[in-house]
Amino acid sequence: MEQDTDTVRQYIEEQAIKFRTFTGIQRPPPNAVFILVMGMTGSGKSSFVASCTGKGVTVGHGLQSCTFDIDIFDFEFEGRQIFLIDTPGFNDTNKSDAETLATVSAYLGTSYAQNVFIHGILYLHRITDNRVSGSAKRNFGMFKALCGEASYGNVSLVTTMWTDGGREDQLRREAELRRDPNFFGSIISGGASLLRHGEHGTDLQQLRDSALSIVRQLIVQCRPGPIVLLIQHELVEEKKVLDDTSAGIIVQSDLHRAFADYRKELSNLRQEMNRTAQSRKSVASGEAQEMAELKAEFKQKLGAVERERNVLASDLARLQQREKETLLSKLEATEQRFQSELERQEGHLRELQRSLQKAEEDSTGDNTVQQTVTRSKLQKEVVNAGKKVVRERQKVRRLKTTVDGVKEGILDGFSTSLSSAIVAGVGTAVVALACVVM
């Protein structure tokens, strides 16, 4: 089995506790500091988080398909409980931008509605990139639309992957990033800081010192108090649907262009198929099949765009419901996966038992050495397989108990978090929290 049952169970339990804290189902400790960690996939977010916590996060990322679509890590630092919320990048090949936006917005909207506030934001970018790619610009544009200008003073832009070699080129790139009004320049002019991670070395201690220094500087930078992100204000206070938010408008515009392009390509293909049919009485079967496959592909793409548009046409309540259903489906799939593995092990045990029974039935009073060796080997295999099945049954029962608890506690809490918080009001809480923690 690729993942141990108890490892998955422990991960689910830990993430559930942090999820409850971040979304306000369970009140955060008074010294809590919530920091978003954002950036493109591959910018070094996982490594940065690992340097902060002193723990590897590879296991958690490998288990993300089991539970939540964001990862939350916490650690104690200079009298504060730091929560790092690791969000997916908008260049994720496994998820569309509409889905990523819906996921991030659901969690940020829920936490804000429950009076849990973001204190600071770390945006990571590779200094090794020779130029700012189109994907990087798009990801950064989404970041700005999510945060809003009022949040820039609580942002630290962090360049990663510094090396001893090529330092002159890296410094030149940093200066270009700082000046570029379409990239870091606009955020820095609004109060953001520009920091370097790992510039003094890449051994574990040097990276840890660097990461914690960045967290320390961000905490000082955020002393005026926590912030309200633009996406939170739009979803909770203005009660907008996602495609009417600043970030949603960007994604909706891209989907509109993609839809128009796909429709045009499909129309051109149909015209080509008609011309081919008119010019020739018969079309080679291979060519006809290729055209049919292309037509099906374009229709599939159009369908995908429509589904993403439907995701964007959601208010916070629908976004929460979507995340609830996704989480429930993941938990059930995880439970079923390990149940199926247990059943496979039980089937293997039964096969071994049948083989041993047959070997004993086939034996005679005058056993050969080979028969004796075979029976002895099967007996050991049956015993070992039996012990393994017993252990796995216990693990699967513990996993089921954990999953059932998560379903009951978190999913119910997710359901009630929005309405209860809005009744209480969020505006006054921002003022109240301005002098807390920092």
pLDDT, tens digit (0-9, with 9 covering 90-100), for 31-56: 999 999 999 988 999 999 999 998 76
pLDDT confidence bin for 59, thresholds 50/70/90: very low
- Range with the largest mean pLDDT of 181-190, 290-299, 324-333, 355-364: 181-190
332: how many CB neighbours lie within 10 A of its CB?
A: 12
Between 221 and 26, whose confidence is greater? 221
Question: Per residue in 91-130, pLDDT tens?
Answer: 777 788 999 999 999 999 999 999 999 999 999 999 999 8
Q: Which of 237, 428, 228 is nearest to 316 (CA)?
A: 237
DSSP of 362-405, one letter per residue? H--SS--HHHHHHHHHHHHHHHHHHHHHHHHHHHHHHHHHHHHH
- Phi-psi region for residue 54, left (φ > 0), alpha (ψ -120 to 50) or beta? left
Compare 80 and 132 and report the one with higher pLDDT: 80
* Residue 423: pLDDT band with limits 50, 70, 90: very low
Q: Please report the pLDDT score of residue 424 as a whole number.
A: 40
Please report, to the nearest 10 degrees, the dihedral formed by the alpha carbons of residues 298, 299, 303, 306 taken in order: 70
CA-wise closest residue to 242 among 323, 160, 133, 303: 323
Task: Give me the mean pLDDT over the 206-235 stretch.
Answer: 95
How many C-beta atoms lie closer than 10 Å to residue 152's C-beta?
Answer: 19
User: Is the CB of residue 48 less than 8 Å from the CB of residue 212?
Assistant: no
Q: What is the pLDDT of residues 276-325, one digit of tens each?
A: 665 655 555 556 676 777 777 777 888 888 888 999 999 999 999 898 88
Distances (CA, A) of 88 to 2, 68, 144: 23, 11, 15
Asked if residues 43 and 126 have their Cβ atoms less than 8 Å apart, the reply is yes
Instruction: Please name the fold of domain 5-240.
Output: Rossmann fold (3.40.50)
Q: Where are the domains of the chain?
A: 5-240, 247-312, 319-416
Distance between CA atoms of residues 438 and 434, nearest Å: 8
Q: Are 32 and 77 in contact (CB under 8 A)?
A: no
The angle formed by the CA atoms of residues 70, 72 and 78, to the nearest 5 degrees, is: 155
Virtual torsion, Cα 128, 130, 133, 136, nearest 10 deg: 30
- Find the length of the chain: 438
Beta strand 80-86 pairing with 71-77? antiparallel
Residues 25, 410 contacting (CB under 8 angstroms): yes
How are the residues of the chain apportioned to helix, strand and coil, as percentages rounded to the nearest 5? 65, 10, 25
Mean pLDDT, the chain, whole residue set: 85
Task: Give the per-residue pLDDT at 280.
Answer: 57
Q: Which residue has the tokens 């819906």?
A: 102
Rounded Cα distance, 8 and 333, in Å? 13
Res. 344 pLDDT band, cuts 50 70 90: very high
Determine contact, residues 437/32, Cβ cutoff 8 Å: yes
Alpha-carbon gap, residue 269 to 279, rounded angstroms: 15
CB atoms within 10 A of CB 38: 25
Beta strands 32-39 and 120-126, pairing class: parallel
Tokens representing residue 357 in the block: 């029974």
Half-sphere exposure of 360 (CA within 13 A, CB side): 10
Residue 288: closest CA among 272, 266, 264: 272
Average pLDDT of the residues in 377-399: 93
Structural contact between residues 52 and 4, judged by C-beta atoms closer than 8 angstroms: no
**Secondary structure letter of residue 119 according to DSSP:** -
The pair of structure tokens assigned to 224 is 């005026």
Per-residue pLDDT at 184 exceeds 50: yes
